Homo-oligomer: A and B are copies of this chain.
Amino acid sequence: MSEEPGRRRTIRDVAKAAGVSIATASNALNGMGRTNAETRERVRRIADEIGFRPNALARSLLTRRSHSIGIITNDTYGRLTLPMSAGVSEALVDHGVSAFLCATNNDPRLAQLHLEALLDKQVDGIIFTATRLDLTPPVDLTRLPIPVVYAFAIGPETAPTFIPDDAQGARLAVRHLQERGYRRILHITGQEDYLAARLRAEAYRDLAGEQAEVMFGAWSEEWGHEAVRRLISSGRPRPEAIFCGSDEIARGVIDSLRDHGLKVPEDVAVVGFDNWQVVAAQTRPPLTTVDMELKELGRRAGLAMLDLTRGLPVAPGITRLPCSLVTRRSCGLA
């Protein structure tokens, strides 16, 4: 009864088993053309029985849509990329679209290699993702015959770009502190040449008023220690709260405050940025922090890509997606 069990069933097999032509089989399965309801059912039942699944390669060759896209990232570490990729996949998988993940490590040769492989495979589009907003792709993506979407990276003005709303996130943090009565708020953050650092600092300055003070440094725990050390030794009046540019910095700050005999949040409240679980949940006390909603960001980028590949219009330029605040105990929540 069964022939070579290794071979995948093709539409020919379905057609033969149903006693119809290939065209009819195809029509019946796809609901196209004019097909007798009875025939349609029979074909579908048989296709199901013999386990027929259409060969996506053959289909793509004809329809010019491969139902696959490429994600190019400079990240090999994963903290940002994987949640975003998961979001992208989530948006796409229900439409049968899969994503190639290309980790370039920011190496132009590698990036070029990946890009060529993607184009050869006729991907429907490319999503570029980075570990910092103001990073240019290691390979030119502006002259491609397919749409390009930027996620957590700023592309050319004509390309749809999705980034977290850093300013809004910063305001969320500062307002939260202010609403709880903290007045003199300090901002300790990372390198000033990072766009995200500048955006957050600016938003902070707008709300913190006269006493605003920003300490730029590194994106590390160590900088958190160092900043607190400087603060204490400066002899200036102690701030009531500190808004940190990352959870790592916040962790350094909290640890250092404790070392100096200051209690969080009783003496100084602290807010972080990233909601990086392993860090935020393990500080003592656990850290109130801003979540950039990376998975949702990836999902939005995925949906935009979906529209683009269908020829639907997608707004070009930057879309800033709202951050959320995750409250834990470092600002005095019960």
Contact = CB atoms under 8 A, between A and B. Distances in A.
Interface of A: 6, 8, 53-58, 60-61, 66-68, 70-71, 75-79, 81-83, 85-86, 89-90, 93-94, 96-103, 105, 110, 113-114, 116-122, 145, 220-222, 248, 251-252, 255, 277-279, 282, 295
Q: What is the count of identical protomers in the complex?
A: 2
A58 to B, nearest CB: 6
Given A61-B61, A222-B282, A278-B279, 9 more contacts: A53-B119, A57-B66, A78-B78, A81-B82, A85-B101, A89-B101, A100-B100, A220-B282, A248-B282
Contacts of A79: 78-79
9 contacts: A6-B145, A55-B120, A57-B66, A76-B83, A82-B103, A90-B103, A93-B117, A99-B101, A255-B255
B102 A117 contact: no
Contact of A105 (B55, B77, B86, B277): B86
Given A79-B78, A101-B99, A248 B278 contact: yes
Nearest to A123: B98
Contacts of A54: 120
A80 B82 CA distance: 10
Given A8-B145, A78-B83, A145-B8, A56 B122 contact: yes
A56 B60 CA distance: 11
A279 to B, nearest CB: 8
Nearest to A96: B117
A86 B98 contact: no
Nearest to A259: B258
A118 B105 contact: no
A240 B82 CA distance: 39
B56 A120 contact: yes
A85 to B, nearest CB: 6
A89 B114 CA distance: 9
Nearest to A100: B98
A249 B129 CA distance: 32
A101 B98 CA distance: 8
Nearest to A66: B57
Nearest to A122: B57
A50 to B, nearest CB: 15
A122 B60 CA distance: 12
A113 B98 CA distance: 10
A60 B66 CA distance: 13
Given A57-B60, A61-B58, A98 B82 contact: no
A221 B94 CA distance: 38
Contacts of A83: 76-78
Contacts of A66: 57
Contacts of A82: 75-78, 81-82, 103
A2 B74 CA distance: 36
Contact of A61 (B57, B101, B110): B57
